[in-house]
């Protein structure tokens, strides 16, 4: 049924808008990607990006194994809207011994079940909404990533009150419990932070910390 010359390293199950975009981008980044979907048209479109594109009418364990999912190091289940199908597919992938299984969820309840069977859960729509909200409310925010329900990474323009001050003088860690993990200055990204570094007007900083402390920091920066 399936003919594969060599194993792919990343599997994508479900070629909806999210799954299709993810699979194409992974291929563009040079990854060997295996994709599975029930739609012949979607699979045909992906064959321009990967030789490992298969039409599957079901997501039973035997079908997934025959397609080569068990050979993947990471598998992303991108069929969050069909909750029962998503959970069953994720369970079958886990049972095949794939080291890392990620699944898209559209509700907390679905996410809870997926986590219980050993799957890493993502909420693309919710995360994008939160990301957009932060950019709208805080105009100084450049980018934002939620690592989980507690920890966030925030990239933001440096506050005018910090310009001309050394990193140690801002007391960001002491005041907010945040760690500066990068500074972007003049097109260069600095990851080894020198406490004596003096902030310039156009600098961007990347901080990591608890969600509530990130929010405190954002509010303070807008004043």
Please provide the CATH number assigned to the domain covering 10-122: 3.40.50.720
pTM for the model stands at 0.67
Distance CA 127, CA 19 (A): 16
Which tens digit of pLDDT belongs to each residue from 161-204?
Answer: 899 999 999 999 999 999 999 999 988 999 999 999 999 999 99
Which tens digit of pLDDT belongs to each residue from 125-151?
Answer: 877 777 777 666 665 667 767 776 688
Q: Which of the four pLDDT bands, split at 50, 70 and 90, describes residue 94? A: very high
Q: Which of 122, 1, 102, 120 is nearest to 58 (CA)?
A: 1
Residue 1's alpha-carbon distances to 11, 54, 55, 59, 187, in angstroms, are 18, 9, 10, 14, 51
Please provide the CATH number assigned to the domain covering 127-222: 3.30.70.1450
Q: What are the two backbone dihedrals, phi and then psi, of residue 121, each rounded to the nearest 5 degrees?
A: -105, 140
Pairing mode, strands 52-55 and 33-37: parallel
Compute the average pLDDT of residues 209-220: 83
CB 90 within 8 A of CB 60: no
**5 has a pLDDT exceeding 60:** no
pLDDT the model gives residue 4: 47
| Four-point Cα dihedral 50, 2, 16, 117, nearest 10 | -110
Distance CA 61, CA 185 (A): 50
**81 has a pLDDT exceeding 70:** yes
Domains of the chain: which residue ranges?
Answer: 10-122, 127-222
pLDDT the model gives residue 135: 66
Compute the average pLDDT of residues 90-104: 95
As given in the structure block, the two tokens for residue 159 are 């506050």
| Four-point Cα dihedral 18, 19, 20, 26, nearest 10 | 110
Mean pLDDT of the chain: 88
Cβ atoms within 10 Å, residue 6: 10
Cβ atoms within 10 Å, residue 4: 14
As given in the structure block, the two tokens for residue 24 are 């194409």
């Amino acid at each position: 049924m399936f003919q594969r010359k060599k194993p792919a390293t990343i599997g994508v199950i479900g070629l909806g808008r999210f799954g299709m975009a993810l699979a194409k981008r992974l291929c563009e980044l040079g990854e060997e990607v295996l994709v599975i979907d029930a739609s012949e048209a979607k699979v045909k479109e992906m064959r321009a990006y990967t030789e490992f594109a298969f039409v599957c009418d079901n997501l039973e364990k035997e079908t997934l194994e025959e397609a080569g999912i068990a050979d993947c190091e990471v598998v992303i289940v991108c069929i969050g809207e069909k909750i029962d199908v998503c959970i069953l597919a994720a369970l079958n992938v886990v049972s095949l011994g794939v080291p890392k299984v990620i699944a898209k969820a559209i509700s907390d309840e679905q996410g809870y079940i997926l986590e219980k069977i050993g799957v890493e859960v993502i909420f693309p729509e919710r995360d994008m909404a939160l990301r957009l909200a932060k950019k709208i409310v805080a105009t100084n925010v450049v980018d934002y990533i939620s690592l989980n329900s507690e920890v966030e990474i925030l990239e933001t323009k440096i506050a005018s009150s910090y310009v001309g001050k050394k990193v140690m003088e801002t007391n960001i860690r002491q005041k907010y419990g945040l760690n500066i993990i990068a500074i972007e200055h003049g097109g260069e990204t600095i990851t080894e932070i020198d406490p004596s570094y003096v902030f310039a007007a156009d600098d961007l900083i990347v901080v990591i910390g608890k969600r509530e402390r990130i929010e405190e920091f954002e509010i303070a920066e807008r004043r």
